[in-house]
Chain A
Amino acid sequence: MSQDSGSRIEGRGTALPEYLLRLGDDRLVLGHRLSEWCGHGPVLEEDIATANIALDLLGQATMFLRMAGQIEGQGRDEDALAYWRDENQFRNASIAELPRGDFGFTILRQFLFSAWAFHHLGTLATSANAELGAVAAKALKETRYHVRHSSEWVLRLGDGTAESHRRAQAALDELWPWTGELFWQDEVDAELRTAGVVPDLEPLRAPWEAMVGDVLARATLTLPAGPMRMSGGRRGRHTEHLGHMLAEMQIVARSHPGAKW
């Protein structure tokens, strides 16, 4: 596994904390992007809905990051992991860090991610690691509501006005290549799969494509063709967007280290 200077995760037994960072960071980063809508939603109900979904994701991130810190055993809790790691130490899939764009972009991204999370958490809930399974089962319940909310909006936007359809299709065209990274696996996955702790992501691809394809077809949107983009988010290689986002997200904590309220 590649070393990156600041992560301090080294030696034996690092696979599970590393995997937990991936799950936690997906939700921390995506939750933050959603929170950027607070006060700027197109209608009040959507402002509230987006903030609630962000809150669910941040709560899930808390559970995964807390577990990562506990297992890592170097005294880092969820706050230390969230606010004091640098960009190359984050393990989210890059789709989460893309700027929020217009409402269509946010909805399409939420739909593609939540549909993936629904399938992933569904299998993760049967993990040989009981605590991980319990956290996944809990996150799955909220994810069902996220899938429903975002898919209903995909229908309205895709099968809506000429403008909403144009924006939804543009969003889908931009997002689709980033979905490949959600199914990317390395030796971290392999080690944990052998132990029955995490699922193989490859068999999840077909049901995810079926679910997504069905909704997009009903929304009169066209599935893009073309290659997947892999920036290497799972290894700490991110797009140019993450650094800026973290600067905003971490500035208060870093300006006042150790502050409590």
Chain B
Amino acid sequence: MRENSQARALGILDTVKDPEVPVLSVVELGVVRRVEVSGTEVTVTITPTYSGCPALHAMEQDIESALLAGGFERVILKTEYAPAWTTDWMSEPAREKLRAYGIAPPGHVAIDQLIPLGATVRTVSCPFCGSANTTLESEFGPTSCKSLHICHACRQPFEHFKAF
């Protein structure tokens, strides 16, 4: 019974999408760390992405309303800061979904190093045409987690989910 409830809760959480990246659920994003069910009460432990991410509040509200609509009577949200959220938690299928949506997925994080000055930025391939002939336009985009690039092959600008 409990396993079914846990699976059901996870299934519901899979329908809660990141409002800025609506192809990824809060589970695929790695924001949901743990789900514990006790009767009709469910506790969801989340780890925030960027410190100031304004979408987190929306995600918390969506998580709560989705679980309540799904039949749970009480939803408790807990926040854990450690281990710190990293894009390394994003699965291969999740990265593919990003690419299909038109966002270049993150590379893997270089551990603990300061990003070197003037170093060549890892070439990001265009998610639309696949070309590596792209340039970084801005380290910061419409959201903190994404940078802006331009593809010289197909002439489209695109976003890149930064390795973090």
- Contact residues of A with B, CB < 8 Å? 45, 48-49, 52-53, 55-60, 62-63, 118, 130-131, 133-135, 137-139, 141-142, 144-145, 147-149, 151-152, 155, 215, 218
Binding site of A, secondary structure by majority: helix, strand, loop or mixed?
helix
Question: 1/0 per residue B122-164: CB within 8 Å of A?
Answer: 0000000000000001111111100010000000000000101
What are 11 of the A-B contact pairs (CB < 8 Å)?
A: A45-B140, A48-B141, A49-B139, A52-B143, A55-B50, A137-B81, A138-B81, A141-B86, A145-B115, A148-B139, A152-B118
How big is the B interface, by class?
Answer: 20 to 34
Beyond A49-B139, A59-B52: 9 further Cβ-contacts under 8 Å? A52-B141, A56-B50, A58-B52, A59-B51, A60-B52, A138-B51, A142-B50, A152-B117, A152-B118
Q: Which residues of B from 43 to 72 have beta carbons under 8 Å from A?
A: 48, 50-54
Specify which of B50, B137, B138, B143 is in contact with A59 (CB 8 Å cutoff): B50
Tell me, rounded to whole Å, the shortest Cβ–Cβ distance linking A65 to chain B: 12
Q: Is the interface of B mostly helix, strand, loop or mixed?
A: loop
Across-interface contacts of A131 in B (CB, < 8 A): 81
Contact B117 A148 (CB under 8 A): yes
- 9 shortest interchain CB distances as A-B pairs: A59-B52, A59-B51, A134-B82, A45-B138, A55-B52, A134-B81, A52-B140, A49-B140, A148-B115
Contact of A155 among B81, B115, B117, B140 (CB under 8 A): B117
Bound: A145/B147 CA distance, A: 11
